[in-house]
Every structure is written in structure tokens, then in C-alpha cells.
Amino acid sequence: MDAISYIDGEWHKGNPPIIGPMTHAAWLGSTVFDGARAFEGTTPDLDRHCARVVDSARAMGLRSMLSAGEIQEIALDGVRKFANGTPLYIRPMLFAEAGLRLLQPDPDSTRFVMTLWDAPLPPASGFTACLSSYRRPAPDMAPTDAKASCLYPNGARAITEAAERGFDNAVVLDALGNVAEFATANLWFVRDGVCVTPAANGTFLNGITRQRVLKLLADDGVAVEERTARPAELREADEIFNTGNYGKVQPVLRYEDRDLQPGPVFRRARELYWDFAHSSV
């Protein structure tokens, strides 16, 4: 993996060590991050990803020593260190080195690391999914208002469960049994020409790519609804797809025992997103 990391004002290659056994983040989970993309000479919504990592840090009791604009400039400097057009994953991260009163992170000990690596966008060849037995926590159960690393082991459990059943990904419900998201991205489905995505209710990340695609589809005249969705609706959907930073817009080819095809709304969403990305260069 061709990777570089910005640590304490300098760029380093590979996977340099940044934590020790007494680092608060290593044993008590005080880490937040964000993910952005560079591809085909574009960095869509990079400013919003950089702003969100600062907001996530605040929600976790950390304190970013850099503004969102400064983080964005570091990211762009990193992009320039690769060949033009290289598909990259851009990951700013903030974590606590020390704690206060054991569990509480010391905001004054917050450290920043920016990592970029060569990560080709997956082709829009689709994936399979099943319903998970694991659920997303409610906002009073976990720091769901942050893109916090401590939230991801639950998603990993859902992915592992799905893989054991022969699927690529999992649909995760919220604490009330409504559809929340896929384990790794936001969820959309289409029924009778209406595109539905679960309403952001604080149990899952209201993704930046999700927000962008929602606006693009609505502005294009597609009927889009943000609302509570029940699991049974996925069994009757004409299309299911996802949005997320890693793969942007990807179709579901099979949900549980139902085969599906990439549909016209998925194709339009992906086309609109690519047009947006290149228009923002």
C-alpha cells in the first residue's frame, strides 16, 4: 500500500508508529476520523469532510488544534505528492494522548494525523446484502454524533455475520427496529418510482455523500423521501443501492433471497454525483 502520513508537521511514508501502550486512544477509544476521496483530479466535498472531523472531535471531548481550512490544506498538499489523478483515500484523524479522571480524554492532549493512500474506487459492479441481527445504538447509548472509531466494531460484527451467510454487506436496523443503514454506508431503495432513504434520526451517520446525492436527485426532479423505513419494504423494493465515501454510489444485486438489477435511479444518482465531482474542480 502506497501511503503517506502527516505527523507533527512532517510527512512520513508507510505506517509509522503514533501511539504507545499508555495512549488514551489505544485503550479507551478516544479517536475520531473522517474519510474523503481524491479521484480523476477531483476532491469532492473535501471541505465538508475536514469540517466534520473537527465537529466529531468536539463531540468526543477532544480539541482540534487545526481549523477545518488548515486540515484541508494539509490534505491537498498530500494529494499533490501522488501522481495526478491517483485515486486516494484521505483520512484526517484526531485522538487523545492522555486522559482526565481515567475515562475522560484530556482535550489538551489531542493529536492530529493525516493519512493518504492509493485506494482505487471499486467498480459499480454491485454487492449482496442481508439483514443483520445487530443494531445501531441510540444517541443516548453511544457517541453517534461523531465519526468515532469506537462505533465501527459493531459494524464489523454485522459484516462478519453477513460474510458467514455468504453476503458482502448487512442492513442494520436502529434500536426501534427501523432501517438505519448498511454496515458501511448509507442506504437507499426505490419503489414505484419513489426513492427512499431512512431519515437521519441520530442513530447513524448522516453521510456527506448521502446529503450530496439527496440534493442532486431532488434538484434533478426525482421523487425522494427521507422517512422512517421498515425492513419489510426492502423485500418489495425495485432497487436498492448505497452511498458512501469509499465507493460513492453502489448497487445491490441481491438482498436476502431476492435478485436485483442496477436500476435507473441508481444509475442517475451515480451519473449526477460524477458530474458534480468534476464540476467542483
- The cell numbers describing 85, all together, are 489523478
The fraction of the chain above a pLDDT of 90, given in percent, is: 98
- Tens digit of each residue's pLDDT (9 = 90 or more) over 111-124: 999 999 999 999 99
3-state DSSP of the chain: CCEEEEECCEEEECCCCCCCCCCHHHHHCCEEECCEEEECCECCCHHHHHHHHHHHHHHCCCCCCCCHHHHHHHHHHHHCCCCCCCCEEEEEEEEECCEECCCEECHHHEEEEEEEEECCCCCCCCEEEEEEEEECCCCCCCCCCCCEHHHHHHHHHHHHHHHHCCCCEEEEECCCCCEEEECCCEEEEEECCEEEEECCCCCCCCCHHHHHHHHHHHHCCCCEEEECCCHHHHCCCCEEEEEECCCEEEEEEEECCEECCCCHHHHHHHHHHHHHHHHCC
Domain map (residue ranges) of the chain: 3-118, 127-279
- Tens digit of each residue's pLDDT (9 = 90 or more) over 37-92: 999 999 999 999 999 999 999 999 999 999 999 999 999 999 999 999 999 999 99
pLDDT at residue 191 greater than cutoff 80: yes
Q: How far apart are CA 203 and CA 206, in angstroms?
A: 9
Q: How confident is the model at residue 281 (pLDDT cuts 50, 70, 90)?
A: low
- Whole-number pLDDT of residue 90: 98
Q: How confident is the model at residue 101 (pLDDT cuts 50, 70, 90)?
A: confident
Predicted model pTM: 0.95
Closest to 71 (Cα-Cα) out of 91, 53, 50, 56: 50
Region 148-174: mean pLDDT is: 98
Q: How far apart are CA 88 and CA 91, in angstroms?
A: 10
CATH code of the domain made up of 3-118: 3.30.470.10
Q: How far apart are CA 277 and CA 261, in angstroms?
A: 25
β 169-173/127-135 pair status: parallel
Mean pLDDT of all residues belonging to the chain: 97
- Tens digit of each residue's pLDDT (9 = 90 or more) over 214-252: 999 999 999 999 999 999 999 999 999 999 999 999 999
- Which residue type does 112 have? F
The fraction of the chain above a pLDDT of 70, given in percent, is: 99
Q: How far apart are CA 233 and CA 213, in angstroms?
A: 21
- Helices 264-279 and 208-219: crossing angle in degrees, nearest 10, is 110
User: Which CATH superfamily groups domain 127-279?
Assistant: D-amino Acid Aminotransferase, subunit A, domain 2 (3.20.10.10)
- C-beta of residue 49 within 8 angstroms of C-beta of residue 79: no
Q: Residues 6 or more apart from 43 whose CB is under 8 A from it?
A: 36, 37, 75, 76, 79, 90
